[in-house]
Structure 1
Amino acid sequence: MPQISFNLSSKVDVSDAENIARYVQVPAMQNGPLYRTMFPLSDTITETQRDEIIRWYADMLEDAFQDRWESFLKARSIDGTPVGFCGWTVIERNREQVEANNGQANEPPKKEKRKKTWIPEVIDIDGWSALSRALRMERDRVLKNLDNICRLTFMAVNPKYQRQGIGSAMMQRICEEIDQHGRYAYVLAAPDGVRLYTKFGFEIVGRVETPQGIITSMLRQQRQS
């Protein structure tokens, strides 16, 4: 495949959600343990059911873009089609506690709890809930005694355009910011992502086994740029 030309942008909008879900998120996730656990019948679903799954992911992205609790980075081809996407959030426990104690807490607006009025009919709710609980426990285990952490919440490249430097370009941008602020970085990695994260200094600190494969817990130590 010819080398793709792409550019990175940190500007995302609600209008980007549908294309990111359709061209990046679902294609990149569909062979991973989390997606396979959530949608165990994914090999036999209809096109209508797949569109429903895409719409569901797009809805969640729209919520995230509106809340602004996370930072995002998208990679676009020359024609504007998204080919890569990542998201991350920063955890600064000590700073927030100090500001709160001094009466100077500058907290973001309270996040409204949006009630999902629908979920895809093919989702395995019990499997999804159990795996989410296991991933949360693993994350808490690793991060409980740490502070100033960048937690990667999502990293994906459309499979058609993988191994063309898109993932590395996004990670390079994120790691530059991480090191500028002297942060740890943490991710729960699907099997296909372990090699990329290792390249950027993440180390394996745990694993969550699922019937659909292993999700790897990875931590990058603090550095100074």
Structure 2
Amino acid sequence: MNSMLQTDFKLSDVEISDAQDIGHHVEVPAMQNGPLYRTMFPQFNTLIEAQREQITRWYIEMLENAFQAREERFLKVCSVNGTPVGFCGWTVIEQSYDRQQTGEPRKKEREKARKASWLPDTLDIDGWVALSNDLKAERYRVLKDLDNICRLTFMAVHPKYQRQGIGSMMMQRICKETDQQGRCGYVLAAPEGVPLYSKFGFEIVGHVETTHGTITSMFRPSQGPC
């Protein structure tokens, strides 16, 4: 049994150069059992090593693009040997979410980037697009009339390091900043994330059902500045 404590881990900001290690050691291992990954890659049980590596390279490229764009905030948690074991990201929406959805410049840039990117051979594009649309619709339903939102976009801990307080370390930092700014919080949670978010005051406000499990829509009311 791993007896490492929170004090054995270090929380810090993410650099662009971290994408390779975070993709290999955190993001892909953590999400392989989740509804989103299994919808995107329905052959998940029969993937060969070369296919898994292609998927990992794709995720690494997406992380690099996200780190370079600087539209989101990111944190990593590393073990004593410097290997990332946890990772999170969030974005702040400071104007109406409803108005954000009609922002043509950002939409055009994202579409341009999507068209320029390659896709893994095993990706179920139709399944991915359909679920993405359902998730966007749920976000819009909950956030459409709100301002000053902290929306969690990434939260992952390597399976071997789960239930050791790493997720709580990251959530404590996010919630502290969120509360100082008087923001509400929002996340679409995979099944294993629901207890963590509930612990930090997120309430269940909806569900998106998939063939591989439920993605839970969770909202945290503003706690006001400290």
Q: Distance in 2 between matches of 1:117 and 1:197?
A: 32
Q: Distance in 2 between matches of 1:178 and 1:78?
A: 28
Q: CA deviation at 1:116?
A: 3.3
Q: Distance in 1 between matches of 2:26 and 2:40?
A: 18
Unaligned runs of 5+ in 1: 98-107
Unaligned runs of 5+ in 2: 100-105
Paired residue secondary structure (1:31):
coil
Q: Which amino acid aligns with 2:92?
A: V
For the aligned residue pairs, the C-alpha RMSD in angstroms reads 1.7
Q: CA deviation at 1:13?
A: 2.1
- Aligned ranges for residues 186-225 of structure 1 at < 5 Å? 186-224=186-224, 225=226
Q: Which residue of structure 2 aligns with residue 87 of structure 1?
A: 89
Q: Which amino acid aligns with 2:9?
A: F
Q: CA deviation at 1:118?
A: 1.5
Query: Which string of whole-angstrom CA distances, capped at 9 and with x for unpartnered residues, describes residues 73-128 of structure 1?
Result: 1001111100000000000116xx9xxxxxxxxxx9x9573233411101100000
Q: Which residue of structure 1 aligns with residue 102 of structure 2?
A: none
Query: Which string of whole-angstrom CA distances, capped at 9 and with x for unpartnered residues, describes residues 102-158 of structure 1?
Result: xxxxxx9x9573233411101100000000000000000000011100000010100
Matched, 1:51 2:53: yes
Q: Distance in 1 between matches of 2:128 and 2:118?
A: 15
Paired residue secondary structure (1:93):
coil
Which of 31, 36, 43 aligns to 1:29? It is 31
- Aligned ranges for residues 20-169 of structure 1 at < 5 Å? 20-93=22-95, 113-114=112-113, 115-169=115-169
Paired residue secondary structure (1:151):
strand
Matched, 1:172 2:175: no
Q: Distance in 1 between matches of 2:77 and 2:197?
A: 18
* TM-score, normalisation: structure 1: 0.90
Paired residue secondary structure (1:222):
coil
Matched, 1:6 2:9: yes
Q: CA deviation at 1:220?
A: 0.1
Do the aligned residues in 2 keep the contact of 1:83 with 1:157 (CA within 8 Å)?
Answer: yes
Matched, 1:182 2:182: yes
Q: Distance in 2 between matches of 1:189 and 1:34?
A: 10
Q: Distance in 2 between matches of 1:155 and 1:130?
A: 22
Q: Percent identity?
A: 65
Do the aligned residues in 2 keep the contact of 1:18 with 1:54 (CA within 8 Å)?
Answer: no
Q: Distance in 2 between matches of 1:111 and 1:126?
A: 22
Q: Which amino acid aligns with 1:44?
A: T
Q: Which residue of structure 2 aligns with residue 100 of structure 1?
A: none
Do the aligned residues in 2 keep the contact of 1:14 with 1:62 (CA within 8 Å)?
Answer: yes
Q: Which amino acid aligns with 2:155?
A: M
* TM-score, normalisation: structure 2: 0.90
Query: Which string of whole-angstrom CA distances, capped at 9 and with x for unpartnered residues, describes residues 45-66 of structure 1?
Result: 0111101000000000000010
Do the aligned residues in 2 keep the contact of 1:194 with 1:216 (CA within 8 Å)?
Answer: yes
